[in-house]
Amino acid sequence: ASHAVRSHLSNHTPPHQGSLPGSLLQIIHRTSSCPGATHSCIFNALHDASGACLLHPTHFMMLPKLMSRGPSWRQASRLLRSPRRPYSVRMPDEAYSYIKSVADLRAWQPGTDVPDVEVCGWVRSVRKSSGVRLIDITDGSSMRPVQAVVDKKLSTDMRPGAAVRLKGTWYNAKNGPNADSDVSNSQTTDEKALEGDSEPVSRVNGDRVGQASAQAEGDAGSAQTMHELQVSDVEILGSCDPQTYPIQNKYQTPESLRTISHLRSRTPLNSTLLRLRSDATALLTQFFFQEKFQQTHPPIITSSDCEGAGEAFAVKAGGPAEFFRDPKYLTVSTQLHLEALAQALGNVWTLSPTFRAEQSDTSRHLSEFYMLEAEMSFVRDMDQVMDLVQRMMRSLAQGLKLLNAANELEENRLDSRDPAERLAFADLVDRRELQRRWRGLLVPSRWPRITYTEAMEKLQPVTAKFEHKPVWGGGLQSEHEKYLAEEVGYDKANDAYVPVFITHYPREIKAFYMIRSAEPAAQGETVDCFDLLVPSLGELAGGSMREHRLSELEDNMRLHGLEVPKRRVAASNDMIWYLDLRRWGCPPHGGFGLGFDRLLSYLTGVPNIRDVVPFPRHYERCDC
C-alpha cells in the first residue's frame, strides 16, 4: 500500500529530483485520497529511504502563509531528502528506517524477528543468566534501556559505563500472545522448530535466553518491553572500569551527583530532564513563531550595573585599561533592550542567559539562569500580557504531554520496580502533587487574577501562620506567595493547582519602569504589574505595563532615587538610551519575564533548580 501511495504521489512530482510538492496539505490531501491509504503507508510516503521526513520544517510553519498566498504556494518550495546519516540505531530494511534511537526501538514490537539491527549505546547494567549476559543499553534517547542478550563469550568487556556497538536480532522474548501468563512454557521451542518459523523466538546459541531473560526481568523489573536484542556482534567503542566509574547503576543523591556535573547527565533521570529542557525550548520557539513574535538576541554584556545593587557581575579583559572603555556587566534582565527591539519589530521574545551575583544558597536561585522574556507593542491592557503568559504555558504543557521526556517522567514512576529508579523518583515532588500542577496549567479557563490589595486581605486574617506580618506596602514574602498559590490557586473541582496572578503592587516597591495604575488603591498608589505564583516555588514569572511617557518615566526614576540623565551630558553607562525610547514614537507596551529553569523545576517536580541545568553556577560553585 505504501508503494501505491508513492506511485500516486510520483504521478504529480518526479521523485528522482529529490522533491515533493511544496505544501504539507497538498501532500496529505493527495496521499489520503489514494485508494487503500493506511496510516503506515502515509507515513512511509512522507519519509524517504533513510526514514528522514520529507516535510520541510517550514511547511508547517508556513501553512497559513502559503494558504493565504493563493495559487503561488503550489510552486513555493522543494523538499530536501536527507542523506542517510548515522543514528545510534540502524535498521537493515528501509521500511523500518524511521527507527533511529533506542527510544524508537523500545516502542517497536514487530510481529516477526528482525535480524541485522545495529545499536550503539552505553552499557547501563549487566546481569548474569545461564550462559548469557542480560545487558541494558541506553543511548540517551529514553529514560529506560533496551535489553541486549549477549553470549557470555562476547560479553567480556561489556561492563557498566562502556560505549558499545552491537549487532543482532530484534525479537520477542516472550514468544507469543500468551507469554505473559506462562513464560517458561512458551520458551520450549527447540532449534529445529525454529527454522522457517515466522513466530518470534528467542535464543542465543541454543540457550533458552528468552526464558532466562523473562525470569531476570521478573526479578529486576527493569523493562516493560518484551522485545530484546539477541546480539551476534559486539564492538567496544570506549571501555569503562566500573570500579572507578563515578556513575554507578545504583541510587546516588542529587547532592553527590552535583559534585560531578560533567558526568551526572548520564543518569537516567538527569538525561531525561535535559531532554525535557530541549523539548520545552523547541515548543516555545514554535509557539512564538506561530504567534508572530520575533526571536531576538539582546546583549549579554551590558552597561547597566542594575543600579549598583551589587547583583551584577562585572566583565573584565586582561590588561589595566577597560576593554569597553567603561565598566561593563553581565545582564540581569534583557527587558530594557527588548523594549528597544519591540519598538522596531512589534512583538519580540528571547530565551537568554541572565546573571545575578547574589550570595543566596537556595533551591530556587542560580547565578546563571535562563530567562524567557517577551515584550509587546501596542498593548494597553495588562490582561492581554497575562493572556499571553497563560496561553504560552498551557501550550507548552500540552506540547510536552505529546513528547517522550515528560511522559517518561510520568509513566515510569507508575511501574518503577528498579530500586535505583524508585529512589531517584522519590527525590521528586509527590506524584499526585505534580499532577495537580499539570492539571492546573492545562485548565481552559482563565487563571485567577487578584490584586495585591486583595491578596493582603486574604493574608491578614491568617497572619499567625507567617513569620513576616503581611503589611500593605511591604513586599510579598516567599511564605506569603506560597500561601496564596496554594489557597487561591487550588481548584477543588479539578484537584488542580492553578497558577495565580497577583496584580497591582504598591508603586514604591516595584521597578521604576512600571506604569502607574489609573486608579490607586485606598492604601496608596500602585503600578500595573503582575507576579505569577505557583505552589512550592512562589514567583515563576513577572510582568508589567511599561511607562511609555517620558516625563512620567522621569518622575518614576526620581521617586525611586535614580538619577535622571540629561541629554547634554550623556555618559556611556547612563540610561539616556532608555529614556530615548520614550522620546520618539513610544506606544503603550508591556511584557513579562519567566524563569525558565524554575518553570522546568515546576513541571518536572525537581525540588532544586540546580538539577534541571546541566552545569549549575551559584555562590562558590562553578565546576567545569
Residues 186-215 that bind a second copy (CB under 8 A): none
Residue span 379-418 as binding mask against a second copy, x where in contact by CB under 8 A, dash where not: x-x--x--xx--x--xx--xx-xxxx--------------
Number of residues binding to a second copy, judged by CB under 8 A: 165
Distances (CA, A) of 274 to 143, 195, 517, 579: 11, 45, 41, 40
Q: How many other β-carbons are positioned within 10 Å of the β-carbon of residue 623?
A: 11
Residues 572-591 that bind a second copy (CB under 8 A): 572, 577-578, 580-588
Residue positions counted in the chain: 624
Going by C-beta distance under 8 Å and a sequence separation of 6 or more, which residues neighbour residue 140? 121, 122, 266, 271, 275
Query: Nearest approach, Cβ of 340 to a second copy (angstroms)?
Result: 5
Name which position in 192, 292, 432, 568 contacts a second copy (CB under 8 A): 292
Name which position in 186, 222, 296, 412 contacts a second copy (CB under 8 A): 296
- How many Cα atoms are found within 13 Å in the side-chain-facing hemisphere of 93? 8
Tell whether residue 562 is a contact of a second copy (CB under 8 A): no
Name which position in 176, 221, 353, 475 contacts a second copy (CB under 8 A): 353
Name which position in 111, 177, 192, 317 contacts a second copy (CB under 8 A): 317
In angstroms, rounded to a whole number, what is the distance separating the alpha carbons of residues 554 and 513?
A: 9
Nearer to a second copy, 476 or 496 (CB): 496
Tell whether residue 370 is a contact of a second copy (CB under 8 A): yes
Nearer to a second copy, 199 or 358 (CB): 358
Residues 133-162 that bind a second copy (CB under 8 A): 139-141, 161-162
Backbone phi and psi for residue 448, each to the nearest 5 degrees, phi listed first: -55, 140
In angstroms, rounded to a whole number, what is the distance separating the alpha carbons of residues 542 and 554?
A: 22
Residues 432-461 that bind a second copy (CB under 8 A): 444
Name which position in 53, 220, 450, 562 contacts a second copy (CB under 8 A): 53
Q: Which residues of 416-453 are buried (b: 16+ CB within 10 A; e: fewer)?
A: bebebbeebbeebbeeeebebbbbbbebeeebbbbbbb
Q: Which stretch binds a second copy (CB under 8 A): 189-197, 201-209, 297-305, 494-502?
A: 297-305
Tell whether residue 239 is a contact of a second copy (CB under 8 A): yes
Residues 243-272 that bind a second copy (CB under 8 A): 244-247, 262-263, 265-266, 270-271
Dump strand ranges (E) for 418-506: 449-451, 490-491, 496-497, 500-503
Tell whether residue 120 is a contact of a second copy (CB under 8 A): yes
Distances (CA, A) of 605 to 17, 232, 514, 602, 608: 49, 41, 32, 5, 9
Cell numbers for 546, please give them: 511599561
Tell whether residue 49 is a contact of a second copy (CB under 8 A): no
Nearer to a second copy, 282 or 462 (CB): 282
Q: What is the DSSP letter of 125?
A: E
Nearer to a second copy, 58 or 477 (CB): 58
